[in-house]
């Protein structure tokens, strides 16, 4: 295998906010987003390899980051086609975070109940 002199920078705030594995997914999307027209066009397999994570772990973290509002899918209606992803910067993420609630919880009458699947 030929050596490639590449790297993916990691944002300190992302590591502190998401943990190491989720931050690596966030930063890989940011890396590929910065390469072209402001959207990440890389395949999931390419990003997964660059993040160095098992497939299920990578997809779980990507889904979590999208649900949390840290990564936006700009082409959600595309079925069976590669999606274009964009990261949300630190300021926008933290602004939106104050109103974000995990998908698995709902508030009813000022109490929080876990939804049973």
Residue 102 has pLDDT above 70, yes or no: no
In the prediction, which pLDDT does 108 show?
46
Residue 58 has pLDDT above 90, yes or no: yes
In the prediction, which pLDDT does 114 show?
46
pLDDT bracket for residue 111 (50, 70, 90): very low
**Mean pLDDT over each residue of the chain, to the nearest integer:** 78
Within a domain: 19: yes
- The Cα–Cα gap between 22 and 27 comes to 9
Within a domain: 17: yes
**Domain hosting residue 103, numbered range:** 12-114
Domain count, the chain: 1
Q: Which residues of 22-57 are buried (b: 16+ CB within 10 A; e: fewer)?
A: bbbbbbbbbbbbeeeeebbebeeeebbebbebeeee
Within a domain: 32: yes
Within a domain: 103: yes
Average pLDDT, integer, range 46-62: 92
CATH of the domain at 24: 1.10.10.10
Within a domain: 26: yes
* Cut 0.95: pTM above it: no
């Amino acid at each position: 295998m030929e050596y490639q002199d590449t790297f993916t920078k990691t944002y300190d705030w992302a590591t502190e906010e998401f943990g190491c594995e989720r931050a690596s997914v966030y930063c890989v999307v940011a890396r590929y987003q910065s390469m072209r027209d402001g959207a990440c066009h890389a395949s999931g397999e390419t990003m997964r390899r660059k993040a160095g994570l098992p497939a299920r772990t990578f997809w779980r973290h990507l889904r979590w980051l999208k649900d949390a509002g840290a990564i936006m899918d700009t082409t959600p209606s595309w079925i069976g086609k590669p999606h274009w992803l964009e990261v949300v910067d630190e300021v926008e993420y933290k602004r939106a975070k104050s109103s974000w609630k995990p998908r698995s919880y709902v508030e009813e009458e000022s109490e929080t109940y876990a939804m049973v699947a």
